[in-house]
Amino acid sequence: MDVTTDSGAPWLIAGLGNPGPEYAGNRHNVGFMVADLLAERMGGRFKRHGKAQAQVVEGRVGPPGPGSRRVVLVKPMSYMNLSGGPVTALRDFYKVPAERVVAVHDELDIDFGVLRLKLGGGDNGHNGLKSMTKAMGPDYHRVRCGIGRPPGRMQVADFVLKDFSSVERKELDWFVDRAADAVECLVSEGLERAQSAYNS
């Protein structure tokens, strides 16, 4: 899709995570952290949406004028493994084509602090992606935020539901900031440009 022409449909940016303060600092919630930062940059506040179990912010990203893009930021309030329902309901409500849907999520198979962007693909065992793909098919963008593998014999479920370590937290603000930059670049300039700038 040529991002220099805007069809009028917004981009739907879904930060994946689990609702509730007990999950707020978890590795699994890095998608929520990125969505919160994007909302802050847009000067918006998340509000519950009447048509879906989710909180949303509507706004624009990119340079002012014709280069800016309409976006709807989404935080599903359904828990991670049911993310597909709210995201699909909002995709239908805002009439968003699949190629303008973006999932921002944690990724075990990438080292902490590393970003990778792609279009389509499998779910790699990620329950949020699994739910989204089941609901709408695999042809949406992903901004994959590396969290690394669990140490030793720690179970994956325990690892992703733990907060970032004290060492990781020193880099976390930078990482979330960079991920938010990558989302803005994807929406404003397209996947290839965003991959060349942010894939590491």
| Side chain identity at residue 27, one-letter code | R
Half-sphere exposure of 7 (CA within 13 A, CB side): 13
**Residue 57 β-bridge partners:** 73
- Kindly state the tokens that stand for 122: 């499998």
CA atoms within 13 A on the CB side of 32: 23
Per DSSP, the residues of 9-20 read PPEEEEE----S
The Cα–Cα gap between 172 and 166 comes to 10
Q: Which one of 28, 49, 105, 141 is the catalytic residue?
A: 28
Q: Look up 28 and say whether it is catalytic.
A: yes
Active site residues: 28
